[in-house]
Chain A
Amino acid sequence: MRALFAFLAGGLFGAGLLVSGMTDTTKVQGWLDIFGAWDPTLAFVLGGAILPMAIAWRVAAHRQSATLGTPIPPKPGVKLDTRLITGSALFGVGWALAGLCPGPAMASLSYGGTQGIIFLLSMIAGMIVWRAIDIALSNRGKAA
């Protein structure tokens, strides 16, 4: 059941990314190009996506757990640390350079061509590299 609903959520997410234009790099870059030919479409995508989720969080607040028994994830702290800022900045650079973020990179795997596959592989490499750095940093922290 968990896998079935995860598949349905993933499929709906992927279809939504395609329909919204999030898998079209000209749309994403046009949205970020506020000093050029600005394209406001992504504001509608983000607004449209936040609306059902805002309702879902309200519903979740009145529940002990999700339908399949998992507790509703607790609200994360308010800690605005260096990692959050540095990581988000780095993500902003990459998102602008290529016009792809992780969801659309996966969603366009079947039709994104060779460049799309190279983006996805580099992204996965980056994720593995960060994990290795993170483990090394925490080991050094323990040793000190």
Chain B
Amino acid sequence: MIQPDWISGLIGGLMIGSAAALFLLVNGRIMGASGLIGGVVDGSGWSNLIERLAFLAGLVGVPALIALATTRPDTHLTGNLLIVAIAGLAVGIGTRMANGCTSGHGVCGISRLSPRGIVATLVYLGVGAATMLIARHLLGVI
């Protein structure tokens, strides 16, 4: 990206919010990534399986096309597979227990002034910052 990071952040953010707005106003659904994925993999959301799978196909397919057409983006994900596996488990259990993640609670919840969305976002941001302090600056593991 040639433009400053905050501009691409803002443009990408507007795209994310527009996607959520489209999903709400046309399909009548909350765009929560963890709920959409979780409902497919644990069988709890099979009543609207086709709609979920179509959403996930777009979510995987369109970035794949962009990555193919441009220079392959780098996720910079750590090569420490133990950390990766622990993080994945925590994200999987946590988002289902809390019934939402950054898209559901953060984008859809805060914009609706939902107390649950606001509190969930404050908790994961706070705990995330504390985790960075401990894991990066005190333990040096990430």
Contact = CB atoms under 8 A, between A and B. Distances in A.
B91 A98 contact: yes
Given A21-B12, A108-B75, A73 B30 contact: yes
A54 interface: yes
Contacts of B93: 87, 90, 126-127, 129-130
A91 B94 CA distance: 5
Interface residues of A, number: 117
Given A83-B99, A111-B75, A113-B75, A96 B63 contact: no
Contacts, number: 481
B22 A5 contact: yes
A47 B7 CA distance: 12
B28 A126 contact: no
A49 B107 contact: yes
A42 B15 CA distance: 14
B10 A48 contact: yes
Contact of B131 (A42, A72, A96, A108): A96
Interface of B: 5-31, 33-34, 37-38, 41-44, 48, 50-64, 66-68, 72-79, 81, 83-99, 101-103, 105-108, 110-112, 114-116, 119-121, 123-133, 135-137, 142
